[in-house]
Chain A
């Protein structure tokens, strides 16, 4: 049975457990997650979403969190953004203990989260105005213009979000996150609702923005798309199914950059990583199906 040959035990030697030790090959850690557990009180009792997770992410590294729906990957990411407080353990971002959201961490939400009554321009302006202090209105306006031009939406600046396609909305959300110039970008299933073509274009656009910034921004992305995770990431963190989710495996993606979407899929290294990730993710599903 293929399900048995793909069981994770066969791959034990290939994954590393990071206990917040410096991420491989990176001079400094951008994010350190130390023994983080998140528990929620529900009417049915205490629900443990994630349990005892430790992970370090280097400055300028791109890391994907991958796993089945409801495995707590978004919860884990929200402890970095400061939207969720760990019940135990701690998260350090840029050397500071995370207690709440801050302008050093930009967030791109799953469902765009644009304010429907504000124009594209105002959506970005209001975010900059709230997050960045000590800049004049002229400087803030210049930031909006630069960032909207970067995602090629300047000519749509006066439209309301309701008048845009899903891909355009997500580009506005990405521009908004970049506009506050955070050193850490947190993307929560950013391309999940988009068609394959739009998705591919946005992957390339995201990497372009990352390159423009000398690859200094650290990116953590939640996804359930294996191809997307490999194409974008330096490391892919596979999570166990919740409740009490933990890290199942961490897979390095040693593919040189810049990566070419069309060529990369024929690379034996890519195919090896793809198979490995598929094994981790499909394994449980096929056992359930038997």
Chain B
């Protein structure tokens, strides 16, 4: 007999029930100023009626979600293309570490939103400015983790390379990259998490399209707190899925010695 409910599932359900109960309580205390889970569910179904609608005057929630994901994908993709090789280089060379590390330490704490007006000034386009902002904030965790991986290659592996006379290319492809890969994926996982958080804020600034704009325009300006809650749930679920995807990759590329 296979167990249908594991203890973990039970804990998960208790957690969800607690969240729902708290929500219900707040809703009651605010005299339904904050809509109840049930009221929110009704709005959710209404929002989900034509999710992929893509008319010039009205775009469905699915279309908005995809446009947010698209910006994240472009910004995050470009950021990773820069951050992974640069991080490996920084981790492999003391000189590069000395040169790049202060720059990273200086720029990393800057709120990604601070880059938005700069992007707007450079590109004269709010869509491109959002992508630019995602690009910048995707750099740091990936760069730092890739550098960490490359600088922590065990002496054993280096000895193999030395003893058998591995070429630079063989060292890169058979030792440096495979060893650093789980660290790189950790960096990507952190980066995509930040990118997803930042895009919503960015779209509130840029306006026009995306989930962030939905929250601001249809939720806050439209006076529908239920729509804000719906958006929060969708943003949360998508963020969770992205995280799980990278967690899966991380496990896939971690090897026992």
| Physical interaction between A and B | yes
Central interface residue in B156, B164, B167, B178, by most chain A CB within 10 Å? B164
Cβ-closest chain B residue relative to A106: B163
A118 touches B174 (CB 8 A): yes
Q: Which residues of B contact A111 (CB under 8 A)?
A: 156
Interfacial chain A residues near B257, Cβ < 8 Å: 114, 116, 161-162
Across-interface contacts of B170 in A (CB, < 8 A):
126, 129-130
Chain B 152-178, CB-CB to A under 8 Å as 1, else 0, gives 000011011011111100100011001
Given contacts A109-B156, A113-B157, A115-B178, contact A130 B166 (CB under 8 A): yes
The DSSP consensus for interface residues of chain B is: helix
> With the chains together, A131 CA to B163 CA distance in Å?
9
| Binary flags per residue of A172-198, CB closer than 8 Å to B gives 1, else 0 | 000000001000000000000000000
Candidates B160, B178, B179, B256; contact of A127 at CB < 8 Å = B160
CB of A31 to closest CB in B, whole Å: 16
Task: Give the CA-CA distance A130 to B175 in the complex, in Å.
Answer: 13
Q: A101-B165, A127-B164, A130-B170 are in contact. Are A113 and B159 (CB under 8 A)?
A: yes
Q: How many whole Å from B160's CB to the nearest CB in chain A? A: 5
How many residues on chain B are close to A (CB under 8 Å)?
A: 18
Residue of A nearest to B174 (CB): A126
Knowing A117-B178, A126-B170 are in contact, say whether A83-B165 is a contact too (CB < 8 A): no
Are A131 and B174 in touch, CB under 8 angstroms?
Answer: no
Q: CB of A254 within 8 A of chain B? A: no
CB <8 Å contact, B165 and A130: yes
Q: Which of B162, B163, B165 is most buried by chain A, counting CB atoms within 10 A of its CB?
A: B163
Residues of chain B touching chain A, judged by Cβ–Cβ distance below 8 Å, are: 156-157, 159-160, 162-167, 170, 174-175, 178-179, 255-257
**Which residues does A use to contact B, with CB under 8 Å?**
81, 83, 100-103, 107, 109, 111, 113-118, 126-127, 129-131, 160-162, 180
Q: Closest 6 interchain pairs by CB?
A: A162-B256, A116-B255, A117-B178, A116-B257, A127-B164, A113-B156
